[in-house]
Amino acid sequence: MKAQPVPMKTTNISIDEATIINLANLAPFKIVRYEVPGKFRYLKDKNKFGRFHNALKEQLPKPYYFYSYDEPTPAIYVLYEREAEVLPLEIEFLSAEEFKQQEMKIADFTGKKLHIIIKLLLAKYFESRDNKNIEAFVSQGKYYILAERMKDDRGFICLEIELKQHYPAQEFSVIGRATRFIKCEKDEIKPGYKAIYPYFFSRMGPIGGQTFLRPLKPSKIEKWEKEIFRINRHSSAPAQLAYHSVKKPEATRGYTLYKFIEKFIQFLKGYGITAIQKERNFLKHKSQLQDPNLQISNLGIIYLFDNRLNKATIPIEAYQKLLQEKYQSELGISFEVITEAELAPPKPLLVIQDYKEADFEENGKLYGEEDPYKRFYKAHPDIPKQSVNVNLNSNNEDYLEYGILELDKSFDYRFRVCFNELYLKDIILNKRDVRYLLGLTEILQLHLAQFKLQEYVFVRNRKSHPILLYVKDGHFEFVDLRAPEGKVLRDTVLEGYGLDWLNDIEQPILAKYKKNKSEDEFKPYDFILGPGRQIIEIEDIEEQILYAYEEITKRKDDTKVKYSIEGLKLAPHYDRVKAPSLTLEQCQNYDEFLDSLDLPEISFAELTNKEGKYWEDIVRVLAIEPNKNGKYDVKKLKAAYQRLGLFLSDKGKGAIEGYQGIWYDSEQCYMVGSTAGINDKQSRANLIRKFHVHSGEDKLEIKLFLETLAIKFVRNEQYTVYPYPFHLIDLYVGINEFK
């Protein structure tokens, strides 16, 4: 039976531009453009945006949008009521004169400038009133919705809402970034801070019941009597907000985005604007790979090198024994200790260390000492090696006094990742035959006889360090495109595909990735180039799926709904609910137990409450055995009801579609989920990416590239999110870091 596509809503909204151009509902408003002095763009002041917005707060009580990329100068667009007085604006640190102003027409905001109207209405959506009920809209150009209260009651985790237009589709990505807010005492706010930093108060929004954190005018801070909050950012510990939680879905990024999109679309409708939430029809990719992991046994021997600072307390031979006992039988590899004098490039090396890079930085535990990692890697750049830290001690005084590790789940995962990385580095540095790695293409020949993965060229640019990867004479070749000789080799390789880098790729495609028009510096990009003049760009389209939160809520609530006793009986439906774990006799005993309750109705939650009065009877009549943790559960009872369409799982089909597996659609978009079902939380969203085919679309074999995502050796026991040759490029860059 042919697989059916699964519809999934996403974080994108589509706008019907015609409903804006002919919009009568915007007639009560006028849009005024203020021209910002052009020198704003060139001010070398890291606080210029904060100073600019804080100055505007005191002057503008209307929804506004600051468009810093407007031409010929940056501009402020303000949404005024039709009869309202247009206010003069002046920013002292930019100009002593008022900004030039001009009333715009709706027709001025079509095409690429549609985002200006939508972002003005976004500001209108977040419009607030102060405690005197006098209109006083204030904005920092950012908008925040409370998602979760911090456990210590010091503040909140909010979503910073941003809309990003995708032209010419007239779609907008709704982006939500987790942002931490903490309480701020007035004496912490120094006089100079008020002009630079934003300070906030919380207020229930006028729409949808969501709580917004709103900026305060600087002039109001001193007399403000309620709690004041400030943004708290730490690069080493950024704000975290789960994308989805089985137990508390309402305190997640996904749910907060879902509710905002729902309410914002309704809000736009109130102004006559037709907007819809985008829906994609995804198909699940069924991988042909029988074993998607690396054959680690091909390594044979992994050599152990002791690069610890404390080598006396625990001898390196203790780690050798530990690893040998665990992995010789499981993975078919053995371990030998080696000294630095015995090192040679062909030998794959596991480097044991007892420190972190941060330990040698200022304020680190080992600040001032030489970092053995850097010394060793500079001394031996051509040896395939991978380091692992065996010290989990956090005690400052006795930091290097630690015990031998236990190979628990965490360390087992860590070592398996190390073995995978060693295997790949060995292939790269020692130029092993690619068939050891690309065997999956032979499996695919039954269906994709025309193409093989090794016939493609992969180009990745990270931190303005572009690298090209291709296969020559059965092994990988890496080309650094920064070097003149690398560019010459690139052009020679591409000539075999009928491609010219400058005319086919750089000029028509890479312009959007240029950081500076006058410099040859590019933002990150990824390309696959192949037979038949194929040019395939892998794009992050800034789109995520949203789960069916209405259905999730319904399913959670369903267990609390009271059902009639007759409606809960199982024996009459045994032909539909029967399973090896639930016999007909057990169903009959269960039904008799329900009759004995002498109740007209009861909820599933009440019936199966482990603290309730019926729990022991449920365990007895259904002969429930304890699980491996010695605990009892009602999984088999719930599974029986689910076969009848009752008490459906809120983490299964129809609720969180797309969490598990690899998915693709007819637009060559794809999404990579987990290899297993959700347990408790999903930390990050599954991003949607696209194989954007610029040339050779008729030759694209998308399933070939989807197979390269199904391997599990880049992220241990997890799929990879880019075709794995791009990871090989990352490894190559890392290997050459110390050369």
Verify that 493 and 622 share a domain, yes or no: no
624-656 pLDDT, tens digit per residue, is 888 888 888 888 899 999 999 999 999 888 999
Confidence band, pLDDT 50/70/90 cuts, at residue 42: confident
List b or e across 501-528, with b for residues whose CB sees 16 or more CB atoms inside 10 angstroms. beebbeeebbeeeeeeeeeeebeebbbb
Verify that 334 and 368 share a domain, yes or no: yes
In a domain, 609, yes or no: yes
Confidence (pLDDT) at 1: 61
d(CA 653, CA 642) in angstroms, rounded, equals 12
Could you write out the DSSP letters of every residue in 613-637? TTHHHHHHHTTPPP-TTS----HHH
Last residue of one domain, picked from the residues 408, 433, 458? 433
Verify that 98 and 38 share a domain, yes or no: yes
Global pTM value: 0.89
Verify that 529 and 609 share a domain, yes or no: no
DSSP state of 491: H
Residue 74 sits at the vertex; the CA angle it makes with 69 and 78, to the nearest 5 degrees, is 105
In a domain, 552, yes or no: no
3-state secondary structure 60-114: CCCCEEEECCCCCCCEEEEEEECCCCCCCCCCCCCCCCCCEEEEECHHHHCHHHH
Verify that 414 and 450 share a domain, yes or no: no
Last residue of one domain, picked from the residues 226, 241, 256? 241
In a domain, 246, yes or no: no
What mean pLDDT is predicted for residues 715-721?
89
Query: Is the pLDDT reported for residue 579 higher than 90?
Result: no
Question: How many residues are there in the chain?
Answer: 739
Verify that 508 and 575 share a domain, yes or no: no
Confidence band, pLDDT 50/70/90 cuts, at residue 92: confident
Verify that 424 and 443 share a domain, yes or no: no
In a domain, 701, yes or no: yes
Confidence (pLDDT) at 94: 87
In a domain, 236, yes or no: yes
Confidence (pLDDT) at 513: 80
What mean pLDDT is predicted for residues 201-220?
81
Angle between helices 253-269 and 549-558 (to 10 degrees): 120
Query: Is the pLDDT reported for residue 55 higher than 70?
Result: yes
Say how many domains are in the chain: 4
What mean pLDDT is predicted for residues 692-718?
89
Verify that 306 and 452 share a domain, yes or no: no
What mean pLDDT is predicted for residues 249-264?
95
Verify that 442 and 419 share a domain, yes or no: no
Query: Is the pLDDT reported for residue 447 higher than 60?
Result: no
In a domain, 185, yes or no: yes
CATH number at residue 358: 3.40.50
What mean pLDDT is predicted for residues 55-84?
91
Verify that 565 and 536 share a domain, yes or no: no
As a whole number, the mean pLDDT across the chain is: 89
H or E element in which residue 159 lies: strand 155-166
Which of 66-80, 285-299, 403-417 has the weakest average pLDDT?
Answer: 285-299
Query: Is the pLDDT reported for residue 451 higher than 60?
Result: no
127-141 pLDDT, tens digit per residue, is 865 444 444 566 777
What mean pLDDT is predicted for residues 462-467?
90
In a domain, 290, yes or no: no
Last residue of one domain, picked from the residues 608, 642, 676? 642
Confidence (pLDDT) at 632: 85
540-578 pLDDT, tens digit per residue, is 999 999 999 999 999 999 999 999 999 999 999 999 987
413-434 pLDDT, tens digit per residue, is 999 999 999 999 999 999 988 8
Residues 6+ apart with CB under 8 A from 702: 664, 668, 670, 691
In a domain, 272, yes or no: no
Verify that 500 and 390 share a domain, yes or no: no
d(CA 248, CA 262) in angstroms, rounded, equals 19
d(CA 370, CA 435) in angstroms, rounded, equals 41
Verify that 21 and 159 share a domain, yes or no: yes
Domain that holds residue 449: 437-544+687-738
Query: Residue 665 to residues 8, 662, 669, 673: CA-CA distances in angstroms?
Result: 11, 11, 6, 15
> Contact, 618 vs 607, CB < 8 A?
yes
Confidence band, pLDDT 50/70/90 cuts, at residue 520: low
